[in-house]
Amino acid sequence: MKAARANNRAKLLASLDFGELNQFG
């Protein structure tokens, strides 16, 4: 459970980072 939750968080952070790069870059 914890591993899956951490994996989901990593994916969310990655998508947010990608969104910021896409927005400002």
User: pLDDT tens digits for 1-25?
Assistant: 688 898 888 888 787 777 666 666 5
> Quick one: pLDDT at residue 11?
84
**Read out DSSP for 1-25?**
-HHHHHHHHHHHHHHHHHHHHHHH-
Residues 6+ positions from 10 with CB-CB distance below 8 Å: none
> Quick one: pLDDT at residue 24?
60
> Quick one: pLDDT at residue 1?
65
Taking the C-alpha atoms of residue 18 and residue 25, their distance in angstroms, rounded to an integer, is 10
Taking the C-alpha atoms of residue 14 and residue 19, their distance in angstroms, rounded to an integer, is 8
> Quick one: pLDDT at residue 7?
86
> Quick one: pLDDT at residue 13?
79
